[in-house]
Amino acid sequence: MVKAAGSIASSITFNITTQSKFAFLWDPWVGGSSINTLCSTSNLTDTIPHLSKVSDFILDGNWSLPDLLRPTILPFIQNILLHQDHNNPIGWKDNKRISFSSFITYYFREEVPFCWHKLIWHKHHALKYSCYTWLAINGGLKTADELIKRNIGVNSLCSLCFTFNETMPHLFFECDYAFAALKSLIPCLGDFLLRPRLTDIFLFLEGRSYHSKHQKIIHLLKVCCAVYFIWRERNERRFNNTYRSSATLCALITNAHLSTFVGWTVIPVVGGNALGAVALVFALVELLLLLLIGFLRYPSFCMELSDGWAVLLLHLLVFHTPGRSQLKNLSKKEKRREERSKDYGKLDELSLLKP
């Protein structure tokens, strides 16, 4: 707090009045510096009490300093005007009324804005899970603290850990229960010394180097799935009085995460398809690399194993449903059969093979 106050001292103005409550020695009311700093060579603390206020040295609208200190202090404060407005003792240098939002804007002025949508609404997102993650990022989920703000009486205690109050940052993922489930899915999150928030996890995954181009997508999908199922577990505990352990929740998230691949179009790797065979070879090589890296970095690398199988599956899947331009070389009968298969959410692999 002291460091933060020092960083904004040069950007705020102190309006000195006859009733100013600023600390005479310690507050930076003299052009962004304190009297104790300006007169560091003098032992002012031996003469002036530590808790002295600025108003203690103002009499009848003029400065009233002890004779012994007048030559030392007066040159610094003689040009400071005494204002009559007692309502705004502190302001910004651009004459804006100071507020907490102004401080936040100034304090994070050098922070580069981050585009969260690239990590949530990426090309291969799952709509249901991304919607809940986007609501969590923007504070749209009705957690206990948000309901209490709206004068709705609810239990403020977290339904997952039963220790802290339920807030959005706590639920995702400062809560021990939620973070344990997520760390089981993505072991590299164990590098955090403190419990991260959802935004911290996205920043961490964005800045991390990956050994496969699909591994980042897999991790982002896991986080979005975790947000959805943790929120669902919270609701189950509050309204249905049913409970799951973090291990059971982790298994549920893993199944949901892998099931997002089911509706994608399969590339046949039989019948002399050279492209599919090459993709399969590369997938197996990446699988072996992931297993080796997981073994070296983590003693228990079972989740890296699941990443490897997911990468293998991704290499055998196309990330989009084929459009009409891709059907021009098929016969009319095959076109009708393929369009009917879209209604069921996946393609019939055998329909792509010529007899």
CA 174/CA 201 separation, integer angstroms: 11
- Comparing 133 with 208, which gets the higher pLDDT? 133
| Other beta carbons less than 10 A from residue 165's beta carbon | 13
Residue 146 in this model has a pLDDT that exceeds 50? yes
Maximum CA extent, the chain: 109
Residue 193 in this model has a pLDDT that exceeds 70? yes
What average pLDDT does this structure show over 199-228?
86
What average pLDDT does this structure show over 170-174?
93
Q: What percent of the chain has pLDDT over 70?
A: 58
- Comparing 53 with 318, which gets the higher pLDDT? 53
CA 146/CA 139 separation, integer angstroms: 9
